[in-house]
Structure 1
Amino acid sequence: MKRIYVLPVFLFFLVSFNKIEKYTTFNARESIAVVATSQDPLPSWNDGPLKKDIIAYVKKVTTKGSPDFIPVENRIATFDNDGTLWAEKPYVQELFAFFLVKKMVEANPALVQQQPFKAVVEKDKAFFENGGEKALIELLAATHTGMSEDEFEASVKEFFGAAKYPSKNVTLKQIRYQPQLELLNYLRANGFTTYIVTGGTIEVVRAISEGFYGIPKNQVVGTSFKYTFDDASNSIKREAALDHLNDKEGKPVGIQLHIGQRPVFACGNEGGAGDIAMLKYSQGNKYPSFQLLVNHDDAVREYSYQEKDNLSLNAAAQNKWHVISIKDDWKKVFADK
């Protein structure tokens, strides 16, 4: 993810919350067992140089006696989320923020006269365009704070059980990238510990990381608000103040705070230069490292977009990172369910 949230705002309102579907979970152990016995651990990847490079890297760093062997405790893999593990047009957390606005306004209609609620209800795109990141953080602070963690997590699960992705009219599990799910499983089957390092708020991603990706919530690094302990309710609550923006140069900082060591494998995406610092940080590892950058170049099966300054792809070329062409490298883009 490149910034916390990006417009266009009007897409937020296209999500339907009427049909509640069963919230299923991702069984990481079963998936790893399948990978371990599979002749092709990455079946949704086209056979080609990139797939071969990934498999060759994993083999050389996990083979005992190899000069490139990496001890299990140092096999850290970090993945961005938006645009890297699932689609980001629009951002899922944008949809969630507006879902919360709807609930809050229904509970307290007077909020409709206050910003940023007023702008959301009136579909005032200019309010967010003119206010930029400040206005969007204000929206997050208004909707993501002031409640206990249990209450917030319940809201997240309610949203994910009902929401449809606007531009494709599918469940949110169906906007996950199938090749990336296979890559996560393949790495874990070979002793890697996988982390999500996202620009999104940590609480939202933690609530779904296990069920969507097989990644426990304590292996999620993200943007966070300040926490306080409420003695009366014996619970943790978030204040309406940003603590850490886990984007761009903030990602290596978040990795150090939460993980405490550089990843040897890092994967991000092109679209806003949000992952360059994480991939550079990974490349500074004392062990052999591998960097991947997803290029959104498939307008037919996914989306086609790029940075105006081409900063991420330029960095990939300069630093010899591997670039995923969705159009050329993936046989299949999205998960079926």
Structure 2
Amino acid sequence: MIFQKTYLRILSMLQVLLILVCFTSLVGCGAQKTKSLSQYWATDSEAAQSLEAYVKKVTNKKDNENFIPEEDRIAVFDMDGTLTCETYYTYYDTMMFINYCLEDHPERVSDELKAAAQEIKPGYTAGEELARNFAKAYAGMTIQELYDYAVEFGQKETDSFNNMRYIDGFYLPMVEVVKFLYDNGFTIYVVSGTERTTTRAIIDNSPIKDYVSPSHVIGTEFEVKVKGYEDVSSNMDYKYADGDELVITGGFIQKNLNANKTIWIEREIGQRPVLAFGNSGSDTSMMNYVIDERNPYPSEAYMVVADDSEREWGKQDWTEKSAEYREQGYVPISMKNDFLKIYPDTVTRADEQYIESEDAAAARIAIPKEKLISFVKRQSYSI
């Protein structure tokens, strides 16, 4: 009898404990993770504090005025200069084009494309003509081959930073932001001027690969057709079948550069995001679209200012830029003051940013001078 009573008492205590555990678990599941941005952000960062307060507000179910359902928590990020390094020698798709033409596969491209690659120098403008040259360089490759080359190129070390591979150029504080938002129920989209396949390759091999679905990468596109039908004027004459390979034709479809970003957010996401992150004038239309008064939810936009000339190659004036961005309704982020650490400890800024490789110099010499001069004269407006 005593044993039975003791057994029942223990059983009762276990049941109570189990109920408490279950209750705690249920409460925990309903609460959002709103830990602070502390690992790579300054403790007095206005931008970090603003984002933390915003997330806490919109994930609080008891805040009827500001709560945003999880399915509507969408954040859009520009890529180059916002998530990743955008210095001349670490700018991914431009340097990939230069390496492809002058070092890795010069036998596959025309003298004109070599001339275009050779003439790109710091301060160049990445216009539409340059993007068309990218498309021409990769003509004949399948999508998978371009993806694989983008990953292969990413293993090369940059000249702007010591010990940094191109694919490692993600800013640690921005990686922390992406994870912070993901942990709080946000869906992350990357809206990039870089070609979509290349962007996916970069993200798939980056610190944010677990937080961004491949289907959530929006970018420009090279014209693609089924292999064997490259010269057919329209893809409507046949249908893709299992086993068909998609081939890059050398044409270029401009989709979302500059103001067009908002169009493709509307088409591919189908609703206004509630958060936007950018770093330049080409991102303002996307950011204005997010913070537009017609957005049914509270929204914010953050602009990264490249003002760190010690750890980065940033030359922007913080006072001028931050005032300009605040006036437009954005929260400015200072790379110099808000970012505690930009890259891993093993990465340091090089003494010199522009270094011409021996292979590139040899390729320049190999191009017939008359072709180089002629091509540069015709194309100088675009690079």
TM category, shorter:
0.7 to 0.9
Report what 1:269 is aligned to.
Answer: 279
Q: How far, CA to CA, are the matches of 1:178 and 1:263 in structure 2? A: 23
Alpha-carbon displacement from aligned partner over 1:294-335 (angstroms, at most 9, x marks no partner) = 00111001122339xx7x756522232100011111111124
1:53 CA displacement = 1.2
Q: How far, CA to CA, are the matches of 1:227 and 1:326 in structure 2? A: 38
Residues 194 and 325 of structure 1: CA distance in aligned 2, closer, same or farther (over 3 Å) = same
User: 1:151-170 to 2 correspondence within 5 Å?
Assistant: 151-161=145-155, 163-169=156-162, 170=164
Report what 1:326 is aligned to.
Answer: 335
Residues 124 and 244 of structure 1: CA distance in aligned 2, closer, same or farther (over 3 Å) = closer
Q: Say if 2:213 is the partner of 1:223.
A: no
Report what 1:281 is aligned to.
Answer: 289
Secondary structure of 1:197's match?
Answer: strand
Q: How far, CA to CA, are the matches of 2:62 and 2:34 in structure 1? A: 24
Q: Residue 136 of structure 2 contacts residue 251 of structure 2 at CA under 8 Å; is this kept in 1? A: no
Q: Residue 221 of structure 2 contacts residue 255 of structure 2 at CA under 8 Å; is this kept in 1? A: yes
Unmatched segments (≥5 aa) in structure 1: 1-35
Alpha-carbon displacement from aligned partner over 1:209-261 (angstroms, at most 9, x marks no partner) = 13212222211111112232336861222332222342221111121222111
- The letter of the residue matching 2:83 is L
1:180 CA displacement = 0.4
Q: How far, CA to CA, are the matches of 1:38 and 1:264 in structure 2? A: 17
Residues 179 and 205 of structure 1: CA distance in aligned 2, closer, same or farther (over 3 Å) = same
Which of 41, 57, 62 pairs up with 1:60? Answer: 57
Q: Residue 167 of structure 2 contacts residue 205 of structure 2 at CA under 8 Å; is this kept in 1? A: no
Across the aligned residues of Structure 1 and Structure 2, the Cα RMSD in angstroms comes to 2.6
Q: How far, CA to CA, are the matches of 1:125 and 1:208 in structure 2? A: 22
Residues matched between the structures, number: 288
Q: Residue 199 of structure 1 contacts residue 223 of structure 1 at CA under 8 Å; is this kept in 2? A: yes
Q: Residue 292 of structure 1 contacts residue 324 of structure 1 at CA under 8 Å; is this kept in 2? A: yes
Residues 58 and 37 of structure 1: CA distance in aligned 2, closer, same or farther (over 3 Å) = closer
Q: Say if 2:185 is the partner of 1:188.
A: no
Residues 44 and 146 of structure 1: CA distance in aligned 2, closer, same or farther (over 3 Å) = same
Report what 2:195 is aligned to.
Answer: 201
Secondary structure of 1:333's match?
Answer: coil
Which of 43, 53, 57 pairs up with 2:39? Answer: 43
Secondary structure of 2:301's match?
Answer: strand
Q: How far, CA to CA, are the matches of 1:119 and 1:160 in structure 2? A: 21
Q: How far, CA to CA, are the matches of 1:187 and 1:264 in structure 2? A: 12
Q: Say if 2:314 is the partner of 1:299.
A: no
Unmatched segments (≥5 aa) in structure 2: 1-31, 230-242, 347-383
Residues 332 and 134 of structure 1: CA distance in aligned 2, closer, same or farther (over 3 Å) = closer
Please give the TM-score of this superposition, normalised by the length of structure 1. Answer: 0.78
Identical pairs, percent: 29
Alpha-carbon displacement from aligned partner over 1:144-190 (angstroms, at most 9, x marks no partner) = 332211111111111112x1121113223442111100000000000
Secondary structure of 1:299's match?
Answer: coil
Q: Residue 97 of structure 1 contacts residue 143 of structure 1 at CA under 8 Å; is this kept in 2? A: yes
1:38 CA displacement = 8.8
Report what 2:139 is aligned to.
Answer: 145
Report what 1:75 is aligned to.
Answer: 73
Report what 1:26 is aligned to.
Answer: none
Secondary structure of 2:337's match?
Answer: helix
Q: Residue 75 of structure 2 contacts residue 275 of structure 2 at CA under 8 Å; is this kept in 1? A: yes
Q: Residue 194 of structure 1 contacts residue 219 of structure 1 at CA under 8 Å; is this kept in 2? A: yes
Report what 1:20 is aligned to.
Answer: none
- The letter of the residue matching 1:222 is G
- The letter of the residue matching 2:159 is P
Q: How far, CA to CA, are the matches of 2:126 and 2:213 in structure 1? A: 33
Please give the TM-score of this superposition, normalised by the length of structure 2. Answer: 0.69
Q: How far, CA to CA, are the matches of 1:132 and 1:54 in structure 2? A: 31
Secondary structure of 1:187's match?
Answer: helix
